[in-house]
Structures are given as C-alpha cells and as structure tokens.
Structure 1
C-alpha cells in the first residue's frame, strides 16, 4: 500500500504500473514534481517577500567573500553547461544533460547569477519559517523549480506558407531527477552564503 498516511491506494508495484513499492501513482507523480509525496510547492506569493529580502541583502553585502564566491560558482555552472540546447530537443537526454541544458538556457537568457543565489536564500528562509518543514530533498527541488522558471522555454517564430506567422513555444516539464541535479548544483554554488552573519 502507498506509504502516505490516509491514502489507501496500492503502491505502483502492486498495480503493474512500475516498480515503486512506496507510493501510488498519484503520490509518486507529486513526489517527482515537488520533492515531497504530499507537500505542495511554495507559491510565488509565499516566496515573494523572501526573494525581495534576499535581493536586498545581497545588494548590501555583495562584496563579502562568500557572496563573491557564490557568484563565481554560478558563473562557472553557466560556462560548463556546454552549448545551448533548445527545449524541444531535450527528448532522450539524461537527467544530468537536461540539467546542464537548463544552465545553458539561463546563460543564454543572461540571468544574473545573483538571482540564482537569491532564489536559494529565499527557499532557505521559507523553510525556516515553515511550521512543517520538509526534508532536504524538498529544499533542493523547490530551489531548482524556482531557478528553472527563470529561463525555462524555447520560442520560435517563422512565416507560414500562407504568409501568416507561426509560433512555437516549448516548456520542458520540471520534474524528476533533473530537479535533483539542478538543486544540488544550486546548493553547491550558494549553500555557503549565510544571511545575517
């Protein structure tokens, strides 16, 4: 049976829907997307004050050694990401390659590394304020989802045969191991920045 208290549904392994012996399909999908089988991701409204505070703090303490180091580490992730891969060409890539492609999209979109660090600090602050905080994986996934949204899609526009404009907008779905790889990268880059020290 699914390990989530009160669920009552069989685990996926008991329904010939995979090998997962812990969760039912619904809670397995939730875990893949959010980093927890039952806790939902933080909303933009919940995170907004923490992100604003993190940006202000980073602007005031931008010359600190840990902040400078974190910025350099994020820039390193950008440079090591390899060539830019359009979102519609990600099919078949491993989770590690998809995570690198996400860093390449952020680099191409010229996302300021400070925004990545601010995202990590905002998630840290949100978890500290949460009366029911989750385990470490939830923090990694939440930070990854926030950073992934900064430059998540690929957009193409061309002229059709009838002279009209055709547009294509493709957004990769943030879920699974890709988020775990992104989250670990973010933690390694920004995890040593301590607000209030």
Structure 2
C-alpha cells in the first residue's frame, strides 16, 4: 500500500519506526505520539541503565586486584561477549572460581582498555547570541534587493538554516552577520 504525500510538503523519516511522515513543525522527529512515547521510554531506560552502571562502579574499591565481569563491563564500557572472547583467547588473565564467578586481572584489562573518567557525550553546540536590533539587521526586502532573490526565497532560507528573526511592525529583521555569511559563500 503506497502512501500518497503531497509533493510540496517536506518529508522526514521517523526516528523510531523509520516511516516517512510530514512534520507538523521543523523540530518534529517522530511521526506520532506512539513513536514519541516509545522514544521517551527508551531514553528513560537508558538513563536508568547508566545510573545502575554508575552505582556498580562506585562500589568497586580502587585497590582490588581482580574484578568480576559485570564490574569490568561497567568500569570499562566493554561488551560482555568481548570480555569472554578475550578471556578464551588468553589475552586477559582470568580466574574461574566457579559458576558465574569469573574474576579478571584488573591491571591487564586497564592496560588494554584505559578507564574513561567521563562518559562520551555529544557536545551541544553553543548558542550564538545575536543583536536583533534594527541597526544590526536587514529587513527581508533589503536582503532580497541586495542579493537579487525573491522574498519567498529569503524566507525559505531563513527557515532552512534556522536564522533568528524579529518582527517589528510590518518588518521582519534578520541579523546581518548570518545573512552575509549565508549569501557570500
């Protein structure tokens, strides 16, 4: 069954289910409330999992020579299958004290996987501060005249590149620095 979507609408792909959809806002990432709720639950689950991992790491004494597999997973961020594969290959010395009692030599694993002090996080871009006073901005008409394009193209570019605007009366202002950077490239 083919989904018909008008050609003049911008399509996005849902971050959860992967289906194409027409977003209601520029920031829309999910096609429906169901997908939004699923993403929210997954985010909460990941946060809870990270908190549990931090609790395990906090309980490990620094002077212990041998650590368990779950402690190594939490401390070094290595997959369980990777640890057991390295143990089988004798690349990491380990002692088997019984069922589910494998202990790994901490010095050897620290040598192979250095401890990260902070988890890897995506850096959020710093927000730019603009002066949206009329003397520091162009009006839409000025931009169109200066660069020889139509008003509708200017509005389209402002939305596409998330350039901040300010409306005073009948005039819409956009920062000169951003507009010059956009059209002088």
**TM-based fold match above 0.5:** no
> Of the two structures, which has the highest relative contact order with CA contacts closer than 8 Å and spacing of 6 or more?
1
* TM-score normalised by structure 1 residue count: 0.24
Larger radius of gyration, structure 1 or 2? 2
Report which of the two has the higher share of helix: 1
Report which of the two has the higher share of strand: 2
